[in-house]
Structure 1
Amino acid sequence: MQTNSTAYLSEMGIDTYQLMHPQRLSGCQVAAINLPSDCKMLLVSPTLPEGSQAEFLERVLKSMQLTLAQIRHVFPQQVDQVQPQSVEWLWFAGCPSSDTLQGKVLSSPLLSDIDGNNQQRKALWQQICTYSE
């Protein structure tokens, strides 16, 4: 049996939701995010890449010899929930970087702002190349 609030969310087509700032609730335990062992890159961005942004991301990853299956996305407010473990790449797109996790750090505007902007693409590529030298 659904509660009134659950039924109301269901009627609106919302089957899952996530609190943006669970740490603000007293006594709330924030679940840790464990990355799979095959995860090579953590993409931290306020937007989840979809459509043309996902295609652009896939092209960038291909140039780095990575696949979409080897990356995970988290929202900026979730970075502190990620268990500190070895991730090769951290890409902060459209948000400030954090020193919570260790790895090769890329910092850029949102993917939508890079795709089609040669100056931004060049800046991103230069960051990637600094780690291959």
Structure 2
Amino acid sequence: MSPQPVSLPDDCKLLLVCNAQPSEQEAWLFSKVLASMKLSVEQALYLPPQAVNLLGEHQLEWCWFAGSQEAEIEGVKRLISPSLSALDNDQLAKKQLWQQIKQYES
């Protein structure tokens, strides 16, 4: 039986791809980054890396690979960072993530 395509809600603008569902602390950091991008938590969804290839129709603007294998999603802005837990304690990685976000805004 072949895997079903993953369908995302129309209001989902950012996909977080990481190996495990974010913990409470990681979710807080995630929400802060989203706010800086003028997105709400309701506009974001988590997917494990193996599900990315199963994406069906979507309205995504961003795909954030946090410590996971990257994939190419056509027409989507890509962010790459260490895992959220590593990012939480790494100022340089936070700065690099911020620079990636800003690069798309200019």
Paired residues of 2:8 and 2:57 also in contact (CA < 8 A): no
Larger Rg: 1
Is 2:38 aligned against 1:65?
Answer: yes
Partner of 2:20: 47
Q: Residues of 2 paired with 1:37 and 1:98: CA distance?
A: 21
Q: Residues of 1 paired with 2:51 and 2:74: CA distance?
A: 12
The size of the alignment, in residue pairs, is: 106
Aligned-residue identity in percent: 37
Paired residues of 2:10 and 2:58 also in contact (CA < 8 A): no
- 1:43-92: CA deviations, max 9, x gaps? 11101112100000000001111111001111001111111433100101
More relative contact order in 1 or in 2 (CA 8 Å, sep 6+)? Answer: 2
Task: Please tell me the root mean square deviation across aligned C-alpha atoms, in Å.
Answer: 1.1
Partner of 2:95: 122
Q: Secondary structure at the match of 2:101?
A: helix
User: Structure 1 length normalisation: TM-score?
Assistant: 0.76
Extract unaligned runs of 5+ from structure 2: none
Q: How does 1:38-117 map to 2 (within 5 A)?
A: 38-117=11-90
One-letter amino acid of the structure 1 residue matched with residue 3 of structure 2: V
Is 2:91 aligned against 1:132?
Answer: no
Q: Residues of 2 paired with 1:117 and 1:67: CA distance?
A: 23
